[in-house]
Structure 1
Amino acid sequence: MKKFALLIFGVFSIALFSQSKTILSSEIRWKAYKTLRAESLSHFGTVNLKSGTLIFNGDDLAGGSFVMDMKSIDAADMNEDPKMKKMLENHLKSDDFFDTNKFPTASFQIKSLKKINSNGYNYQVTGPLTIKGISKNISFPVKVSQSNAVYTLTSAQFTFNRKNYGLKYNIFEDMLIINDVEMNVTIKAK
């Protein structure tokens, strides 16, 4: 009974002191490579954040969740060739990859975190990344800073294996693409 009372007190304490911060702006960048990991054989761009929250307990990050609008995927490396840019973006949105008609969003939820002090990053966040209805845990370092009541979360570059989420093309073309997709995320909240 005593443990149960302590658990209830702990839950109420977290709920009482935790504050949800509204996202002001975000930048989610992606990069993928063909078989040879060369800049000339890469594609990169952005995807928009549809919604999200950061949760703080005082000035300490306590959690958060983010929903990405996969229909907004942009191939910025192709800006000089609008026709090829549109072709690549449509290909990424097709059922060959993200299937945005069926799965218009992807999400990430912070399920656990720990404080670290490594290369300027102060938290290690862990949680499920969900793409095409498939959830797999990922973990990466983030830096959280605060200025004028605005909190900024900046991730280190992290990767996910596209095949774990069913992001694969026909067998011959698929062999020409590296499995890891690189990501960088910056989120400002108040």
Structure 2
Amino acid sequence: MKSKILSIALAALVVAAAFTFVGKEVKVDTKTSEIAWVGKKVTGQHNGTVAIKGGALEVENGVIKGGEFTIDMTTINVLDLEGEYKGKLEGHLRSDDFFSVEKHPTATFKITSVNESEQKDATHFISGDLTIKGITNKITFPANVTLNGDKVNAKATFALDRTKWNVRYGSGSFFDGLGDKMIYDDFELSVNLSSL
């Protein structure tokens, strides 16, 4: 009797294992993945990059189920300036006027949902929690995601309102009389993410 119960239990475990799929963690390739940014003001704009320090995607049956990424804020780089002006702007962006990099050297993005899109210019909508300067806000943006076996590539371009993360320097929403020194609240991010 005991051996019969043991056999049934073992058979049940084998069947359960056959129908249970454990999601795979796919690591981000930090050498090829990057975030480009554009910040605009009344008199022009600046652009640059910031590096992805690390992260991983959770992939299950060819579908992205989640993931988390760390952004290295100490790598804020200005591409449209050179020399002294480049150094000054990078220093200002890293200061407490903007991203307080000394106090908050990293930012994080944690995916909470990935949904297919019916739009022509995006395959998915990605939602998650973006933490900058210790402040977390939920964001959703369209992205083009391709999966080829264990390889994942995702590209997305979207705008964020910097004031939601207490980055208010030069914001016309908070300060009067800025004139042509006003910096627009929205800044644009272009994310290119590849897996190893």
Aligned equivalent of 1:99: 100
Aligned equivalent of 2:41: 34
> Residue 88 of structure 2: SS of its match in structure 1?
helix
Larger-gyration structure (1/2): 2
> Residue 117 of structure 1: SS of its match in structure 2?
coil
Q: CA–CA distance in 2 between the matches of 1:120 and 1:173?
A: 37
Specify every segment of 5 or more residues in structure 1 that has no aligned partner in the other structure, as ranges: 1-11
1:17 is the counterpart of 2:22: yes
Q: What does 1:102-113 align with in structure 2 at a 5 Å threshold?
A: 102-113=103-114
TM-score (norm 2): 0.80
> Residue 167 of structure 1: SS of its match in structure 2?
coil
Aligned equivalent of 2:184: 178
Q: Decide whether the 8 Å contact of 2:70 with 2:108 is kept in 1.
A: yes
> Deviation at 1:149?
4.0
Identical aligned pairs, as a percentage?
32
User: Which residue type is aligned with residue 189 of structure 2?
Assistant: M
> Deviation at 1:173?
5.3
> Residue 103 of structure 2: SS of its match in structure 1?
coil
Q: What does 1:125-164 align with in structure 2 at a 5 Å threshold?
A: 125-147=126-148, 149-155=150-156, 157-164=157-164
Q: CA–CA distance in 1 between the matches of 2:75 and 2:131?
A: 17
> Deviation at 1:82?
1.2
> Residue 32 of structure 1: SS of its match in structure 2?
strand
Specify every segment of 5 or more residues in structure 2 that has no aligned partner in the other structure, as ranges: 1-16
> Deviation at 1:148?
6.5
Q: CA–CA distance in 1 between the matches of 2:119 and 2:182?
A: 35
Q: Decide whether the 8 Å contact of 2:26 with 2:150 is kept in 1.
A: no
Greater CA drift, 68-77 or 169-178: 169-178
Aligned equivalent of 2:7: none
> Deviation at 1:17?
2.8
Q: Deviations for 1:43-76, whole angstroms, at most 9, x for unmatched residues?
A: 1110000111111112111111111000100011
Aligned equivalent of 1:3: none
User: Which residue type is aligned with residue 187 of structure 2?
Assistant: V
Q: CA–CA distance in 1 between the matches of 2:112 and 2:54?
A: 17
Q: Decide whether the 8 Å contact of 1:97 with 1:168 is kept in 2.
A: yes
User: Which residue type is aligned with residue 42 of structure 2?
Assistant: T
Q: CA–CA distance in 2 between the matches of 1:173 and 1:129?
A: 29
> Residue 50 of structure 1: SS of its match in structure 2?
strand
Q: CA–CA distance in 2 between the matches of 1:22 and 1:98?
A: 26
> Residue 102 of structure 1: SS of its match in structure 2?
coil
TM-score (norm 1): 0.83
Q: CA–CA distance in 1 between the matches of 2:94 and 2:21?
A: 42
